[in-house]
Homo-oligomer: A and B are copies of this chain.
Amino acid sequence: MHEFELIRSIFQSSMMANTQGRNDILLGIGDDCAQVKVPDGQTLVFSMDTMVEGRHFPFDADPLDIGYRAVATCVSDLAAMGAKPAFFTLALTMPDSDPQWLAAFAEGMAELAEPIGLLLVGGDTTKGPLTITLQVHGYVEQDHTPRRSQAQVGDDIYVTGTLGDAAAAVPIVTGELQVSAERFDYFYDRFWRPSPRLIAGMALKRVAHSMLDISDGLAQDLQHITKASNVGATLQLSALPVSEELLSWKPDCAQTLALTGGDDYELCFTAPKSAREEIQLITQTLHLACARVGEITASGFDVEGYQGELSGWQHF
Protein backbone atom coordinates (compact mmCIF):
# COMPACT_ATOMS: atom_id res chain seq x y z
CA MET A 1 0.00 0.00 0.00
CA HIS A 2 1.47 3.34 -0.99
CA GLU A 3 0.28 5.91 1.48
CA PHE A 4 0.85 8.80 -0.85
CA GLU A 5 -1.19 7.41 -3.69
CA LEU A 6 -3.97 6.33 -1.35
CA ILE A 7 -4.28 9.63 0.45
CA ARG A 8 -3.89 11.66 -2.66
CA SER A 9 -6.23 9.79 -4.95
CA ILE A 10 -9.10 9.35 -2.55
CA PHE A 11 -8.86 11.94 0.18
CA GLN A 12 -7.16 14.75 -1.71
CA SER A 13 -9.80 14.63 -4.44
CA SER A 14 -12.54 15.15 -1.87
CA MET A 15 -14.03 18.61 -1.46
CA MET A 16 -13.15 18.41 2.23
CA ALA A 17 -9.44 18.62 1.27
CA ASN A 18 -9.90 21.67 -0.95
CA THR A 19 -7.97 24.55 0.62
CA GLN A 20 -9.23 27.17 -1.84
CA GLY A 21 -10.77 30.13 -0.07
CA ARG A 22 -9.11 29.21 3.21
CA ASN A 23 -6.52 31.80 4.17
CA ASP A 24 -5.59 29.90 7.33
CA ILE A 25 -4.41 26.73 5.55
CA LEU A 26 -1.06 27.51 3.88
CA LEU A 27 -0.20 23.90 3.05
CA GLY A 28 -2.51 20.87 3.05
CA ILE A 29 -2.03 17.22 2.12
CA GLY A 30 1.18 16.29 0.32
CA ASP A 31 4.25 17.81 1.99
CA ASP A 32 6.22 16.65 5.04
CA CYS A 33 3.98 18.83 7.17
CA ALA A 34 0.76 20.75 6.82
CA GLN A 35 1.08 24.45 7.60
CA VAL A 36 -1.50 26.68 9.25
CA LYS A 37 -1.69 30.36 10.14
CA VAL A 38 -3.99 30.61 13.14
CA PRO A 39 -6.20 33.72 12.71
CA ASP A 40 -5.17 36.76 14.76
CA GLY A 41 -6.62 36.82 18.25
CA GLN A 42 -7.53 33.13 18.15
CA THR A 43 -6.03 30.18 19.97
CA LEU A 44 -5.83 26.66 18.60
CA VAL A 45 -7.65 23.85 20.41
CA PHE A 46 -7.40 20.22 19.33
CA SER A 47 -8.34 16.73 20.37
CA MET A 48 -7.16 13.30 19.27
CA ASP A 49 -9.38 10.23 19.30
CA THR A 50 -8.78 6.63 18.30
CA MET A 51 -11.48 4.21 17.23
CA VAL A 52 -10.69 0.49 17.01
CA GLU A 53 -12.90 -1.89 15.05
CA GLY A 54 -14.72 -4.33 17.34
CA ARG A 55 -14.23 -2.04 20.29
CA HIS A 56 -15.57 1.40 19.45
CA PHE A 57 -17.74 0.24 16.58
CA PRO A 58 -18.86 -3.21 15.36
CA PHE A 59 -16.94 -5.33 12.86
CA ASP A 60 -17.95 -5.00 9.21
CA ALA A 61 -19.86 -1.78 9.73
CA ASP A 62 -20.79 0.49 6.83
CA PRO A 63 -17.69 2.62 6.05
CA LEU A 64 -19.97 5.60 5.36
CA ASP A 65 -21.26 5.40 8.94
CA ILE A 66 -17.77 4.84 10.36
CA GLY A 67 -16.50 7.95 8.58
CA TYR A 68 -19.38 10.13 9.69
CA ARG A 69 -19.24 8.99 13.29
CA ALA A 70 -15.45 9.32 13.50
CA VAL A 71 -15.68 13.00 12.62
CA ALA A 72 -18.79 13.58 14.77
CA THR A 73 -17.40 12.08 17.97
CA CYS A 74 -14.10 13.91 17.60
CA VAL A 75 -15.66 17.25 16.66
CA SER A 76 -17.80 16.94 19.78
CA ASP A 77 -14.67 17.76 21.81
CA LEU A 78 -14.44 21.06 19.94
CA ALA A 79 -18.06 21.78 20.85
CA ALA A 80 -17.19 21.28 24.52
CA MET A 81 -14.55 24.01 24.20
CA GLY A 82 -16.91 26.36 22.36
CA ALA A 83 -14.52 26.28 19.41
CA LYS A 84 -15.09 26.77 15.70
CA PRO A 85 -14.04 23.68 13.65
CA ALA A 86 -11.04 24.39 11.42
CA PHE A 87 -9.16 21.32 10.13
CA PHE A 88 -8.29 17.71 10.90
CA THR A 89 -5.75 14.99 10.27
CA LEU A 90 -6.39 11.28 9.80
CA ALA A 91 -4.25 8.27 10.70
CA LEU A 92 -5.85 5.28 9.05
CA THR A 93 -4.62 1.75 9.69
CA MET A 94 -6.44 -0.85 7.60
CA PRO A 95 -5.90 -4.49 6.62
CA ASP A 96 -5.81 -3.80 2.89
CA SER A 97 -6.26 -0.92 0.54
CA ASP A 98 -9.89 -1.26 -0.56
CA PRO A 99 -10.77 1.68 -2.84
CA GLN A 100 -14.52 1.18 -2.46
CA TRP A 101 -14.29 1.10 1.32
CA LEU A 102 -12.05 4.17 1.29
CA ALA A 103 -14.36 6.13 -1.01
CA ALA A 104 -17.37 5.44 1.22
CA PHE A 105 -15.38 6.21 4.37
CA ALA A 106 -14.22 9.52 2.87
CA GLU A 107 -17.78 10.34 1.80
CA GLY A 108 -19.03 9.73 5.34
CA MET A 109 -16.34 12.00 6.79
CA ALA A 110 -17.04 14.70 4.19
CA GLU A 111 -20.79 14.58 4.87
CA LEU A 112 -20.16 16.15 8.27
CA ALA A 113 -16.77 17.83 7.73
CA GLU A 114 -17.67 19.91 4.67
CA PRO A 115 -20.70 21.81 5.99
CA ILE A 116 -18.89 22.73 9.22
CA GLY A 117 -15.75 23.92 7.42
CA LEU A 118 -13.51 21.18 8.81
CA LEU A 119 -10.73 20.62 6.28
CA LEU A 120 -8.64 17.45 5.88
CA VAL A 121 -5.02 18.65 5.76
CA GLY A 122 -2.87 15.57 6.32
CA GLY A 123 -2.37 12.19 7.92
CA ASP A 124 -0.90 8.77 7.42
CA THR A 125 -2.10 5.40 6.16
CA THR A 126 -0.64 2.09 7.28
CA LYS A 127 -1.42 -1.59 6.99
CA GLY A 128 -2.85 -3.35 10.03
CA PRO A 129 -6.08 -4.02 11.95
CA LEU A 130 -8.71 -1.32 11.27
CA THR A 131 -7.85 1.58 13.57
CA ILE A 132 -8.83 5.19 12.96
CA THR A 133 -7.19 8.12 14.72
CA LEU A 134 -8.42 11.64 14.09
CA GLN A 135 -7.04 14.87 15.40
CA VAL A 136 -9.52 17.72 15.01
CA HIS A 137 -8.52 21.34 15.43
CA GLY A 138 -10.59 24.43 16.09
CA TYR A 139 -10.20 28.11 16.85
CA VAL A 140 -11.44 29.91 19.94
CA GLU A 141 -10.76 33.25 21.64
CA GLN A 142 -8.37 32.81 24.54
CA ASP A 143 -10.66 34.32 27.18
CA HIS A 144 -13.80 32.28 26.69
CA THR A 145 -12.88 28.66 27.08
CA PRO A 146 -14.90 26.65 29.60
CA ARG A 147 -12.68 24.18 31.40
CA ARG A 148 -13.37 21.08 33.41
CA SER A 149 -11.71 22.60 36.43
CA GLN A 150 -13.94 25.65 36.79
CA ALA A 151 -17.22 24.32 38.13
CA GLN A 152 -18.29 26.21 41.27
CA VAL A 153 -20.37 25.16 44.25
CA GLY A 154 -23.98 26.19 43.64
CA ASP A 155 -23.70 25.91 39.81
CA ASP A 156 -26.64 24.34 38.04
CA ILE A 157 -25.80 21.24 36.00
CA TYR A 158 -27.29 21.05 32.51
CA VAL A 159 -27.33 18.56 29.64
CA THR A 160 -28.37 19.21 26.05
CA GLY A 161 -30.67 16.98 23.99
CA THR A 162 -31.61 13.57 25.35
CA LEU A 163 -29.41 10.81 26.77
CA GLY A 164 -29.39 7.01 26.66
CA ASP A 165 -30.41 6.37 23.08
CA ALA A 166 -26.91 5.47 21.86
CA ALA A 167 -26.36 2.97 24.68
CA ALA A 168 -29.75 1.38 24.03
CA ALA A 169 -28.83 1.20 20.34
CA VAL A 170 -25.71 -0.96 20.83
CA PRO A 171 -27.38 -4.41 20.64
CA ILE A 172 -29.35 -3.18 17.62
CA VAL A 173 -26.25 -1.90 15.89
CA THR A 174 -24.29 -5.11 16.55
CA GLY A 175 -27.19 -7.20 15.24
CA GLU A 176 -27.68 -9.02 18.56
CA LEU A 177 -31.22 -7.69 18.86
CA GLN A 178 -33.97 -7.66 16.23
CA VAL A 179 -36.47 -4.81 16.47
CA SER A 180 -39.15 -3.24 14.26
CA ALA A 181 -37.94 -1.35 11.19
CA GLU A 182 -39.06 1.96 12.67
CA ARG A 183 -37.21 1.35 15.94
CA PHE A 184 -34.17 0.11 14.05
CA ASP A 185 -33.99 3.27 11.92
CA TYR A 186 -34.30 5.60 14.88
CA PHE A 187 -31.74 3.91 17.13
CA TYR A 188 -29.32 3.04 14.31
CA ASP A 189 -29.11 6.74 13.56
CA ARG A 190 -28.77 7.67 17.21
CA PHE A 191 -25.65 5.50 17.45
CA TRP A 192 -24.06 6.26 14.09
CA ARG A 193 -25.03 9.89 13.62
CA PRO A 194 -24.48 11.84 16.82
CA SER A 195 -24.92 15.61 16.48
CA PRO A 196 -21.94 17.47 17.88
CA ARG A 197 -23.39 20.54 19.62
CA LEU A 198 -21.09 23.04 17.95
CA ILE A 199 -23.36 26.07 17.81
CA ALA A 200 -24.58 25.44 21.35
CA GLY A 201 -21.01 25.16 22.60
CA MET A 202 -20.03 28.44 20.96
CA ALA A 203 -23.11 30.20 22.36
CA LEU A 204 -22.85 28.71 25.86
CA LYS A 205 -19.12 29.14 26.42
CA ARG A 206 -19.60 32.68 27.77
CA VAL A 207 -22.02 31.60 30.50
CA ALA A 208 -20.77 28.09 31.33
CA HIS A 209 -18.19 27.69 34.07
CA SER A 210 -17.31 24.17 32.96
CA MET A 211 -18.35 22.05 30.00
CA LEU A 212 -17.60 18.69 28.39
CA ASP A 213 -19.18 16.30 25.94
CA ILE A 214 -20.73 13.08 27.21
CA SER A 215 -18.93 10.15 25.63
CA ASP A 216 -18.56 7.70 28.50
CA GLY A 217 -21.87 8.38 30.24
CA LEU A 218 -23.10 11.32 32.29
CA ALA A 219 -22.25 9.73 35.64
CA GLN A 220 -18.65 9.09 34.63
CA ASP A 221 -18.04 12.24 32.63
CA LEU A 222 -19.53 14.56 35.24
CA GLN A 223 -17.02 13.11 37.68
CA HIS A 224 -14.24 14.43 35.44
CA ILE A 225 -15.64 17.89 36.16
CA THR A 226 -16.10 17.34 39.90
CA LYS A 227 -12.62 15.87 40.30
CA ALA A 228 -10.91 18.59 38.24
CA SER A 229 -12.86 21.33 40.08
CA ASN A 230 -12.53 19.70 43.49
CA VAL A 231 -16.27 19.85 44.09
CA GLY A 232 -19.19 17.43 44.38
CA ALA A 233 -22.50 17.01 42.56
CA THR A 234 -26.08 15.96 43.10
CA LEU A 235 -28.16 14.78 40.15
CA GLN A 236 -31.91 14.09 40.00
CA LEU A 237 -32.45 10.85 38.10
CA SER A 238 -35.99 11.90 37.18
CA ALA A 239 -34.72 15.12 35.63
CA LEU A 240 -32.50 13.36 33.07
CA PRO A 241 -33.85 14.00 29.58
CA VAL A 242 -34.77 10.91 27.55
CA SER A 243 -36.35 10.55 24.14
CA GLU A 244 -39.97 9.45 23.66
CA GLU A 245 -38.63 6.55 21.64
CA LEU A 246 -36.46 5.30 24.51
CA LEU A 247 -39.17 5.88 27.10
CA SER A 248 -41.77 3.92 25.13
CA TRP A 249 -39.31 1.09 24.43
CA LYS A 250 -37.67 0.81 27.85
CA PRO A 251 -39.86 2.64 30.36
CA ASP A 252 -38.20 0.92 33.33
CA CYS A 253 -34.56 1.70 32.60
CA ALA A 254 -34.59 4.73 30.30
CA GLN A 255 -33.37 7.06 33.03
CA THR A 256 -30.66 4.62 34.09
CA LEU A 257 -29.41 4.44 30.50
CA ALA A 258 -29.43 8.23 30.42
CA LEU A 259 -27.28 8.28 33.55
CA THR A 260 -24.76 5.57 32.71
CA GLY A 261 -24.93 5.01 28.95
CA GLY A 262 -22.24 6.51 26.74
CA ASP A 263 -21.87 7.57 23.11
CA ASP A 264 -24.56 10.28 23.06
CA TYR A 265 -22.11 13.20 22.59
CA GLU A 266 -24.43 15.76 24.14
CA LEU A 267 -22.96 18.60 26.18
CA CYS A 268 -22.91 18.65 29.97
CA PHE A 269 -22.15 22.04 31.50
CA THR A 270 -22.37 23.91 34.74
CA ALA A 271 -23.37 27.56 35.11
CA PRO A 272 -24.30 29.94 37.92
CA LYS A 273 -27.96 30.23 38.89
CA SER A 274 -27.85 33.86 37.74
CA ALA A 275 -27.43 32.60 34.16
CA ARG A 276 -30.70 30.63 34.04
CA GLU A 277 -32.56 33.19 31.98
CA GLU A 278 -29.72 33.65 29.50
CA ILE A 279 -29.29 29.90 29.05
CA GLN A 280 -33.00 29.51 28.40
CA LEU A 281 -32.84 32.27 25.82
CA ILE A 282 -29.81 30.72 24.07
CA THR A 283 -31.21 27.20 23.91
CA GLN A 284 -34.68 28.37 22.85
CA THR A 285 -33.13 30.42 20.07
CA LEU A 286 -31.22 27.34 18.92
CA HIS A 287 -34.32 25.11 19.28
CA LEU A 288 -32.18 22.85 21.42
CA ALA A 289 -33.54 20.92 24.36
CA CYS A 290 -31.53 21.71 27.48
CA ALA A 291 -32.40 20.22 30.86
CA ARG A 292 -31.33 21.31 34.33
CA VAL A 293 -30.44 18.00 36.00
CA GLY A 294 -28.69 18.83 39.25
CA GLU A 295 -26.36 21.06 41.20
CA ILE A 296 -22.68 21.33 42.01
CA THR A 297 -22.10 20.74 45.74
CA ALA A 298 -19.08 21.01 48.01
CA SER A 299 -18.34 17.27 47.95
CA GLY A 300 -19.76 13.81 47.25
CA PHE A 301 -21.50 12.44 44.19
CA ASP A 302 -25.18 11.60 44.59
CA VAL A 303 -27.93 10.69 42.21
CA GLU A 304 -31.31 11.14 43.86
CA GLY A 305 -33.65 8.31 42.91
CA TYR A 306 -30.90 5.94 41.69
CA GLN A 307 -30.25 2.61 43.41
CA GLY A 308 -27.50 0.98 41.34
CA GLU A 309 -23.75 1.33 41.28
CA LEU A 310 -22.11 4.15 39.37
CA SER A 311 -19.69 2.93 36.78
CA GLY A 312 -18.78 4.21 33.36
CA TRP A 313 -19.81 2.99 30.00
CA GLN A 314 -17.74 0.18 28.53
CA HIS A 315 -17.59 -0.03 24.76
CA PHE A 316 -18.00 -3.31 22.89
Task: Tell me, rounded to whole Å, the shortest Cβ–Cβ distance linking A227 to chain B.
Answer: 9
Complex interface: stretch among A24-32, A63-71, A251-259: A24-32
CB-based contact B145/A89 at 8 Å: no
User: Is A93 close to B, CB under 8 A?
Assistant: yes
User: Is A126 close to B, CB under 8 A?
Assistant: yes
Contacts of A190 in B (CB 8 A): none
Contacts of A51 in B (CB 8 A): 126
User: Is A236 close to B, CB under 8 A?
Assistant: no
Distance in angstroms between the alpha carbons of A52 and B129 in the assembled complex: 9
Distance in angstroms between the alpha carbons of A91 and B46 in the assembled complex: 13
Contacts of A90 in B (CB 8 A): 48
User: Is A77 close to B, CB under 8 A?
Assistant: yes
Complex interface: stretch among A36-44, A168-176, A302-310: A36-44
Q: Which secondary structure dominates where chain A touches chain B?
A: strand
Distance in angstroms between the alpha carbons of A2 and B46 in the assembled complex: 21
Chain A: residues with Cβ within 8 Å of the partner, total of 57
Beta-carbon nearest neighbor of A83 in chain B: B33
Task: Tell me, rounded to whole Å, the shortest Cβ–Cβ distance linking A7 to chain B.
Answer: 11
23 of the cross-chain contacts (CB-CB < 8 Å) are: A26-B43, A31-B148, A31-B149, A31-B212, A31-B228, A33-B47, A33-B81, A33-B138, A34-B45, A34-B46, A35-B145, A36-B45, A38-B38, A38-B43, A48-B89, A48-B90, A48-B123, A48-B133, A50-B133, A52-B93, A52-B128, A55-B127, A128-B129
**Which 8 A-B pairs give the minimum distances between C-beta atoms?**
A33-B45, A52-B128, A32-B80, A91-B133, A32-B77, A33-B47, A50-B91, A50-B126
